[in-house]
Amino acid sequence: MGPPGIDLRPEWRGIFLNLMRAIYVMTILLTMFWVPLSGSSAPVTLPAKIIVHQALSALGGEEQLRAIQNVKWEGVGYRNELEESERPEGPYVTDFLELSEVDDYMHTRFRNRTETSVYPLYKGVLTVVMSDGVAMQAAGEAFMVATPQVVQLTRERMALNPERLLLTAADAQDLRREPDAILQSVPQNVLAFTLGNPCAGV
């Protein structure tokens, strides 16, 4: 005989009793382990230095990254010039880009060459070179001394390159944690440090 109000056939009575026993056992187990499981899911707040060194280890280790003396990379891309196009929905005027960059970390030197093409309107090349704290710009055949702002931006760019970002953060004297954030539905640890005048977030 089943619970009050339920008339079970004999062939179903055993199945029902086994099901009730399973529910009873699961309820006891959940009650026993609820507190430990709840405690283990609490967020653990790690110091900023530990987070940076964990990230360095995931990228192969701090020693390996510091051993990188120079990097050269090239890229090809395009940009739709919405501001120059006739209608917001297109067709767009397309700016095709070819980039070549060399970052010399050992001697603090930098070279970037960007070739831009907007067919059939124009084609131009801009080159920026920095060495010993002095930068030069070349636009076609015209050469000029770059402004101090270009030198500062170039140094910041080299310090925040993918292969140098974590090393720059590890060397910062004021590295600290900021409130965590969610980026593209993924929780992120946010760190901050001073680079020049502004504050950089990682």
- Asked if the structure places residue 152 within a domain, the reply is yes
pLDDT-derived band at 21, boundaries 50, 70, 90 = low
The pLDDT assigned to 165 comes to 93
The pLDDT assigned to 167 comes to 95
Residue bearing the bigger pLDDT, 200 or 108: 108
Percent above pLDDT 70 for the chain: 75
Q: Give me the phi and psi of 35, to 5 degrees please.
A: -65, -50
Asked whether the predicted pLDDT for residue 32 surpasses 70, the reply is: no
- Asked if the structure places residue 109 within a domain, the reply is yes
pLDDT in tens, 65-89: 999 999 999 999 999 888 888 787 7
CA 89 to CA 95: how far, in whole Å?
17
CA 134 to CA 148: how far, in whole Å?
8
Query: Looking at the structure, do residues 52 and 121 belong to the same domain, yes or no?
Result: no
The pLDDT assigned to 159 comes to 93
The pLDDT assigned to 198 comes to 63
pLDDT in tens, 153-180: 899 999 999 999 999 999 999 999 999 9
- Asked if the structure places residue 128 within a domain, the reply is yes
Query: Looking at the structure, do residues 127 and 88 belong to the same domain, yes or no?
Result: yes
* Contact assessment for residue 130 and residue 110, using Cβ atoms and an 8 Å cutoff: yes
- Asked if the structure places residue 78 within a domain, the reply is yes
Query: Looking at the structure, do residues 120 and 188 belong to the same domain, yes or no?
Result: no
What is the average pLDDT score of the chain? 81
Query: Looking at the structure, do residues 93 and 169 belong to the same domain, yes or no?
Result: no
- How many domains is the chain built from? 3
- Asked if the structure places residue 185 within a domain, the reply is yes
pLDDT-derived band at 100, boundaries 50, 70, 90 = very high
Two tokens at 66?
Answer: 């510091």
Q: What is the mean pLDDT of residues 26-33?
A: 42
Which residues is 111 bridged to in the sheet? 102, 129
Enclosing domain of residue 1 = 1-36
Query: Looking at the structure, do residues 105 and 182 belong to the same domain, yes or no?
Result: no
- Asked if the structure places residue 171 within a domain, the reply is yes
Burial track 11-26 (b if 16+ CB lie within 10 A, e otherwise):
eeeeeeeeeeeeeeee
**pTM score, two decimals?**
0.68
Query: Looking at the structure, do residues 115 and 174 belong to the same domain, yes or no?
Result: no
The pLDDT assigned to 81 comes to 87
* Contact assessment for residue 96 and residue 107, using Cβ atoms and an 8 Å cutoff: no
Query: Looking at the structure, do residues 78 and 148 belong to the same domain, yes or no?
Result: yes
CA 79 to CA 59: how far, in whole Å?
31
Query: Looking at the structure, do residues 172 and 199 belong to the same domain, yes or no?
Result: yes
* Contact assessment for residue 96 and residue 86, using Cβ atoms and an 8 Å cutoff: no
The pLDDT assigned to 37 comes to 41
Report the C-alpha dihedral over residues 186, 189, 194, 198, rounded to 10 degrees: 30
Looking at the chain, list the stretches that DSSP marks H as alpha helix, in order from N- to C-terminal side: 10-40, 48-58, 62-66, 148-159, 165-171
Query: Looking at the structure, do residues 150 and 131 belong to the same domain, yes or no?
Result: yes
CA 107 to CA 83: how far, in whole Å?
40
Query: Looking at the structure, do residues 76 and 156 belong to the same domain, yes or no?
Result: yes
Query: Looking at the structure, do residues 95 and 134 belong to the same domain, yes or no?
Result: yes
- Asked if the structure places residue 187 within a domain, the reply is yes
